[in-house]
Amino acid sequence: MQELDFSEQIAALRSTFRDILSVIDVDELKTRIDDLSAQAGVPDLWDDTEKAQKVTSALSHAQADLAKVTSITSRLEDLEIMVELINSEGDEESAQEAQAELESLTKLLGELEVQTLLNGEYDPRAAVITIRAGAGGVDAADFAEMLLRMYLRYSEQHGYSVTVLDTSYAEEAGIKSATFEVDAPYAFGTLSVEAGTHRLVRMSPFNSAGKRQTSFAAVEVIPLIAQTESVDVPESDIRVDVFRSSGPGGQSVNTTDSAVRITHLPTGIVVSCQNEKSQIQNRAAALRVLQSRLLLLQRDEENAKKKELAGVITASWGDQMRSYVLAPYQMVKDLRTDYESNNPSNVFDGELDGFISAGIRWRKQKVA
């Protein structure tokens, strides 16, 4: 048996691992796990189901990340020992196991390396994905449904929590659009590289002449921005003026300075209230109105930010970022990264890791 020599590959993996550890703070990760474990151990945690699911999900993912990091060192050392034993004993079967372990470690370190590139402002957030059928008629609607299934399968394979928020079905087949939420750490950072126009080329099952058909679908990915249900208004941010109420009299409404005008200094929003009998009541009512207006303003700003992050996606000719070709040959190719797969069936079954990793690296190089 030919002697195995993995020295260069193992040295390269160790170098990559050192770079990863320089970014991932293992001590901070352990502290986070301790904090989440404490939250998960609270007796009344499941009184709030949504909060409990987020805590347990975050804990599970953090523990998985730590397990990956802590296992790599020992696995690299074990691989070196395995190679030495194989070369001394000439075990062909063990040589195949060593090759498989090398490939497994290479993939694992590649995934961790990509994760360290997710350092954008919104990257840690959950993602909201919308798929829309574009040009191509019935085929486009069918393609949109194929993409929906692809992303749901991808999320299922990675243990991501998915909630389908809305689906609009087409008349003949497929969907006009669908929106779903992927709730997992760094879901937006990971899946945002999937945003853009996707193109499908195939022999149309909806064409009686069996002609080749090209269709398009748009994928929009935005971060899930937390919606604050109340707005804290510091006293230093407001100016309160009191004045005599106007309008119908009676019960001292027009005889005391009970009306209140509140000016929010940072935004210039002005709210007045004079309906209540006392200044205290009018102030409380005016403050509630101010909080409501600030909440609406906050949400308008968040929606504008979401639209900016989503970008403009036309879902038509000349705008595609990835092509799925089923005829006359079989290939899926990302036109930005040149990453490709010759097995479209696996891709539509959710095997997107290669495309997503290549997309994240491409994005990082583009920004650098």
- Local confidence band at 293 (pLDDT 50, 70, 90 cut-offs): confident
Over residues 330-336, the mean pLDDT reads: 96
* Helical packing angle, 353-367 and 92-115, nearest 10°: 50
Contact 283, 240 (CB under 8 A): yes
For residue 314, pLDDT over 80 is answered with no
Residues comprising the chain, all counted = 368
Residue 328, preceding bond cis, omega within 30 degrees? yes
The radius of gyration of the chain from alpha carbons, rounded to an integer in Å, stands at 28
Two tokens, residue 301:
């700003």
How high is the pLDDT of residue 225?
67
Task: Work out the pLDDT band at 246, boundaries 50, 70, 90.
Answer: low
Residue with tokens 């899946």: 191
Distances, alpha carbon 265 to alpha carbons 188, 237, 239, 269, 301, in Å:
34, 5, 7, 7, 18
Q: What is the pLDDT of residue 330?
A: 96
Work out the pLDDT band at 249, boundaries 50, 70, 90. Answer: very low
What is the per-residue pLDDT across 15-63, written as a single tens digit (0 to 9) for each?
999 988 888 888 888 999 999 999 999 998 888 887 888 888 888 888 9
| Across 135-160, average pLDDT | 95
Alpha helix ranges (H) inside 91-242 = 92-115, 137-157, 187-191
112 closest CA partner among 253, 217, 16 = 16
For residue 53, the model assigns a pLDDT of 81
Q: Of 154, 147, 71, 58, give the one whose Cα is nearest residue 109.
A: 71
